[in-house]
Chains A and B, each alone.
Chain A
C-alpha cells in the first residue's frame, strides 16, 4: 500500500468516495484519514453509517424541507428549538464542526448521519443529553476551541472567495471569543471605527486567535515594532494606544 498519498492522489480518492455517497470534502478527508487512506475501508465505513442510520435519517426528514434534500435555516431553527438552545449559541457551531458541515445555514443528510454517528446518538433528544458535555468541552478545552474557531472560517467563507466579510468575522468573534477573552469586546468596538477594511483574510482571522491566546488582556506584551502581526491587529493596538504611533 502507498504509505502517504500526495495532494493529487488524495483529491482523486476524495472524488472516488464522493461517488459512493454524497458527502463533502471535509468529511471525505476526515474519513479517509481515519482509515489511513484506504479507499475500501473508507467505503465500508460509510456504508456502515448508512446502514445503521435509518433512525437518524428519520430525524433528518423531520427538519428537511419537502422538496429539497437539505435542512435549511427554518429546519435549523426548529432543530435548535428542540435542543433548547439559542440560534446564536456557540455550541451550534461546535455541532456543525462535529458534523463537518460545509456551508453555513445548511445541513445535508450525510452531515446528520455522520455527526450523529460520531456523537453516538440516534435522535435529537439523545443529542440534547450530550449537549452539556459539548458545552463544557467548548468552554474549557482550548484545543477544541481553536479547532472550532479555525473551522468556522471555512464554514463562513463563500466558495469563490479567499476571505470572509468583516461582519461575519465579527459575528464569529463575538460568539466564540468574547466569553473567554474579554479583550475582544474592545476589539469589536475598534472595528466600528475601522471603515476601510471590508474583508478579513484567513491569516488575519487565525492571527486574531493567536492574539487572544498570546497577548490577551496584557497589551504590554504586544510588540508593535517587530511583531509579525497583521495590520488589522496593529490597528487595534494603535486604537488602544494612539501615542505609540510614530
Chain B
C-alpha cells in the first residue's frame, strides 16, 4: 500500500514536471505564432517543434491512461486530472489571445472602416492561432475531449464567441449593414471585407466545428458539423436584420420612384437586381434566395399591376410598337411568375379592344358603302382580324416567349372578338369561299398557309354549327361548278375541320365531296360525254346531304334533254340497281347555242331556263299560260328564268322588263331583230333581274326563323345525346361534373349552362335520369 502510494507520488511529481515543460514549450511556441501574426507573414513553425509538444502530450496522457486503468483515479494536486489540466492550458492560451484582440477591438471601434479591418484581421489571426495550438494539443481530441462531449476546435470557437463575438456582435452587425447600405447608395460593391464579418455570423451558431487550414490560400476556417444550429443562428442574428434593412431601404426607394415610367422603373429595377445579386454571391450566398424573394416581392410583385397598367405600360407599348420595352417588361415580370397573369390580362384587353374596333368599324362602313362593289364585308372583316392576329402572334412569339398563360389570352381575346360579332359564323363561311375560289393557280405553300389561317379562325369560333350550315351552301355551289371545283383542296380543308371538331359531325360535308368524286368516276367509266352529241355532265348527289330544298322533277323536258337524261338513267341503273334518280333541274347549268340572224350566241343558262327557252324552237311567241302548261315550271321560277332574257332583249314582252307575270295571257315574243356585240352571255337568274316581290322578304324571314328553330332542335339533340352518353357511362354523377363534361365534349357549338340545365330538366322529365333522393346535386341514370 505504502509502496504504491509512493510510486504514485513519484509519478505525480514526474507528470507535474512534464506538464510544466509542456506549458513552457507551448508558451514559446505561441509567442512565435503571435509574432508571426503580428508581422502579417505566414506562420513559420517547425514541424519538429509542434510534433515535440504533440509527442509529449501523447506520452503523458498515455501514461496517465495506463495508470487510470490499474488504479481507479490519479488525482493531481489541485484535484484535476492531467487531461483536465492540459485542456485548461489549451483554453488558457486561447483566452489570453482573446483578451488581447478584444482590447484591440475596443481601441478601434469608433470608426467603421477600422472595425471592419480589425475584426476581420483578428478573426483570421485567432483562427490561425487556434489552428496551430490545436495541432499541438490534437491528441486530446482523441483521448480526452470525447469524454466531455466536445473537441478542441469547438472549444476554440466557443471561447471566441463568449470572449469576443458576443461582446461586440451588435457593432459588427451594424458595421456590416452600414457597408451594405453604402454599397446600395453607390450602386457598386465597395468593400469585400464584410464577407469575413458575415462569415462570423454563419459560424458562431454552430456547436461542433472542425478547424481547417487551407494551405493553398493561406486561410483558416471553421467547418460546421451540424449546419442546422449554425443556420438558425445565422438567420436570427444576421439574415433577419439584413432583410429588415433591405425592406426598409427599398420601400423608400420604390416610393421615390413612383413617378418613373414603366421602362425607367424596369431599368432601375434590373440594376438593383444585378447589384443585389452581386452582393449576395460575393458576401452572403446563403441569403441569396431570401433576398431575391424579398426583392421580387417588392420590386416585381407589388409593382407589377402598376407597371403593366400605367400609361406607359403594356397598352402604350403595344400601341406604339415599343417591342423592346415590352420584352424587357415581360422578362422583368417573369421574375415573379404569378404576376404574368397581369400581363396576360393587359395583353388580352388591348387586343380585345382592337378587335372590338374592327367589329364596330365594319358595321359602320357597311352603312357607308352600300352599293359600291367593294370587297365583301366578310373578306374585309377577316382580313383585318387576321392582320391583327398576326401582330398579336408575332409579339407573343418574339417578345413574350410564347408564355403559356399569354397564349391563352391570345386565343381568349380573339375568341371574344370574333364571337361578339354575330355574323362571324356566316362571314367566315363567306370568307372561306372567297379564299377557295381565288385559290386556283396559287402555289401549294401559299394555299396551305391560307387554309391554316382559316382553321385558326375556325378554332376560335363558338357557333360552328351555324358556320357549317353556311359552309355547306357554299361548298355545294363550289362543287357543282366545274370551273371552281377543287376536290383536293376541299378535302384538305375538311380534314382540318374534322381535326378540330372530332369526327361524326361532318359526314354530310364529306359525303358531298364523295358524291362528286363518284359522279366523275362514273362519267369517265361510262364515257358518257363521248357517247352522245349532247355534252352532259351529271352530278350524283346523295339525298339529304346537300342543301337542296326543292326538287323539280315533274317539269316537262323538251325531247333533246329528255332523251339524254333517260339515257343516263339507264346506264346508271344498270350499274346501281334499285336506286332512285331524280333530277334537280334548277341546280344544273349549261350553254345554249342560239342562232339568229346568221350570228351565233353562246348563252350561259341554268337547266330550267334551258327547258323554257327551248320552247321557242317550236314557234316564236307564247303566252305565259302556254309556258306554264307546256313545261310545268313554277310561275316564280319561270319569272326568274325568263326575265334575264327579256332584260337582254332576246325576248320581248308587253309589260315592263322587270315585272311579275301577273297576266297569264301576256305574250312573250322572240326578238327576231336581236343583235349584240358580245357573243357570250350570262343569263343566269340573279337579284337584279328579278321582280321585287313583296312577300319575299317575309318568306325569307320566316325561313330564317325556321332555320334557327331547326338549329336549336339540333343543338338540343346534341346536348341530350351527350348527356345521356355521359350518364350511361357514369351511372351516377354530380351536377357540376355532368355540366363540365358535357360542355367540354361538345365541340360543334358552345352550349351555355342554362341551355344544358334545361336539357337536364327535360331528361329528368322524360325519366332518363333522376335526382338522388338525399343529395339533389347528384343524378342517377335510369335504365
A234: chain B residues at CB < 8 Å are: 754, 757
Q: How far is the CA of A207 from the CA of B735 in the complex (A)?
A: 14
Which of A27-35, A101-109, A124-132, A198-206 participates in binding chain B? A198-206
**B752-769 interface code vs A (CB 8 A; 1 in, 0 out):** 011001101100110000
> Does the CB pair A231–B758 fall under 8 Å?
yes
> Does the CB pair A228–B765 fall under 8 Å?
no
A162 proximal to B (CB < 8 A): yes
The closest CB in chain B to the CB of A224 belongs to: B753
B85 proximal to A (CB < 8 A): no
> Does the CB pair A226–B758 fall under 8 Å?
no
A163: chain B residues at CB < 8 Å are: 765
Most buried by B among A210, A228, A234: A228
B777 proximal to A (CB < 8 A): yes
The closest CB in chain A to the CB of B755 belongs to: A231
Q: How many residues on the B side are at the interface (Cβ–Cβ under 8 A)?
A: 15
Q: How far is the CA of A219 from the CA of B682 in the complex (A)?
A: 69
Q: How far is the CA of A63 from the CA of B338 in the complex (A)?
A: 78
> Does the CB pair B761–A204 fall under 8 Å?
yes
B754: chain A residues at CB < 8 Å are: 231, 234
Contact of A201 among B764, B776, B779 (CB under 8 A): B764
Q: How far is the CA of A204 from the CA of B778 in the complex (A)?
A: 15
A227: chain B residues at CB < 8 Å are: 735, 777
A210: chain B residues at CB < 8 Å are: 776
Q: How far is the CA of A226 from the CA of B777 in the complex (A)?
A: 9
Most buried by B among A162, A225, A231, A234: A231
B776: chain A residues at CB < 8 Å are: 207, 210, 228
The closest CB in chain A to the CB of B753 belongs to: A225
> Does the CB pair A228–B758 fall under 8 Å?
no
B23 proximal to A (CB < 8 A): no
Q: How far is the CA of A163 from the CA of B777 in the complex (A)?
A: 21
Q: How many residues on the A side are at the interface (Cβ–Cβ under 8 A)?
A: 15
The closest CB in chain A to the CB of B778 belongs to: A228
B757: chain A residues at CB < 8 Å are: 230-231, 234
Most buried by B among A203, A210, A234: A203
B771: chain A residues at CB < 8 Å are: 203, 228
**CB of B757 to closest CB in A, whole Å:** 5
B736 proximal to A (CB < 8 A): yes
The closest CB in chain A to the CB of B764 belongs to: A203
Interface residue ranges of A191-246 to B (CB < 8 Å): 201-204, 207, 210, 225-228, 230-231, 234
B777: chain A residues at CB < 8 Å are: 226-228
The closest CB in chain B to the CB of A199 belongs to: B765
Q: How far is the CA of A226 from the CA of B775 in the complex (A)?
A: 14
**CB of A112 to closest CB in B, whole Å:** 33
The closest CB in chain A to the CB of B734 belongs to: A228
**CB of B465 to closest CB in A, whole Å:** 22
> Does the CB pair A226–B736 fall under 8 Å?
yes
> Does the CB pair A230–B765 fall under 8 Å?
no
A202: chain B residues at CB < 8 Å are: 765
> Does the CB pair A201–B736 fall under 8 Å?
no
> Does the CB pair B761–A201 fall under 8 Å?
yes
Which residues of B are at the interface with A, using a C-beta cutoff of 8 A?
Answer: 735-736, 753-754, 757-758, 760-761, 764-765, 771, 776-779
Q: List 5 A-B contacts (CB under 8 A).
A: A163-B765, A226-B777, A227-B735, A231-B761, A234-B757
The 10 A-B pairs with the shortest beta carbon distances in the complex, nearest first, are A228-B735, A226-B736, A203-B764, A228-B777, A201-B765, A231-B757, A231-B758, A230-B761, A210-B776, A162-B765
Which residues of A are at the interface with B, using a C-beta cutoff of 8 A?
Answer: 162-163, 201-204, 207, 210, 225-228, 230-231, 234
